[in-house]
Amino acid sequence: MPDKILVVDDEREICDLVELYLQNENYTVFKFYTAKEALDCIESTELDLAILDIMLPDTNGFEICQKIREHHSYPVIMLTAKDAEMDKITGLTLGADDYVTKPFRPLELVARVKAQLRRYKRYGTARPDAGDAILVHSALELNTDTHECLLNGKPLSLTPTEFSILRILLERKGKAVSSEELFYEIWKDEYYNKNSNTITVHIRHLREKMGDTVDHPQYIKTIWGVGYKIDA
């Protein structure tokens, strides 16, 4: 069954172009120009990924992202204006998994969609033959088969990107992992802007959910000039 993708953008030419490229890759596209239509679709349709423009006539992509994260963990990609760094940070903080800056090449967006869906399917569905599905550190427990995370025995709601970061750090316990390595492991491509806050924002959001702090971390430690690690 084809993956179902929500596309929301009030710029009709962009929306129609994205739809065309996604349909050429055999995705089922639900295309809307307003937030209201998109929110109705989110409530009535089982989706696999959402592409949200930030600026919409009746609300903004941030609010749609928040609504999605109330009940769903599928990937969200935000479309942002050029050099709108605060928009990127806000989107990632609210639970978006990636962002693409306008103007963009449609093939780049399609590549990001494929990368997000690969990761979501890999860590969001069961893998019965995996022998090391449970990753544990102190009161933190990560199940890579069921895509569940427990902290002190209570469920922790993570986005696919947050889950992937935590999985990588737990699999490499005791070793520092750079932002570049995390980016490559998650997105499986070489594109990484050293001035990007992508990984930093996801780490910050993870810490907030876990009740962790930079100064006195129980889980994720910052190794200045190197990256991040979870102690062995």
Residue 170 dihedral angles phi and psi, to the nearest 5°? -70, -35
Spatial distance between the Cα atoms of 53 and 55, rounded to a whole number of angstroms: 6
Q: Where are the alpha helices (DSSP H) in 45-154?
A: 61-71, 85-93, 106-124
For the question of whether the overall pTM of this predicted structure is more than 0.85, the answer is: no
Quick: pLDDT tens for 47-93.
999 999 998 888 889 999 999 988 888 999 999 876 666 777 777 77
Q: Which residue has the tokens 């924002």?
A: 201
Give me the pLDDT at residue 194, please: 55
Residue 55 dihedral angles phi and psi, to the nearest 5°? -90, 115
Q: Where are the alpha helices (DSSP H) in the chain?
A: 12-24, 35-44, 61-71, 85-93, 106-124, 160-171, 179-187, 198-210
Mean pLDDT of the residues in the chain: 85
Give me the pLDDT at residue 84, please: 65
Quick: pLDDT tens for 158-206.
888 899 999 999 999 889 999 888 888 887 665 555 556 788 889 998 9
Spatial distance between the Cα atoms of 181 and 191, rounded to a whole number of angstroms: 11
C-alpha to C-alpha distances, 222 to 48, 135, 154, 203, 210, nearest whole angstrom: 33, 20, 25, 10, 15
Mean pLDDT of 13-35: 95
Tokens (6 digits) for 16:
């129609």
Contact 75/49 with Cβ under 8 angstroms?
Answer: yes
C-alpha to C-alpha distances, 187 to 60, 91, 136, 183, nearest whole angstrom: 26, 17, 24, 6
Q: Is the peptide bond before 75 cis (omega within 30 degrees of 0)?
A: no
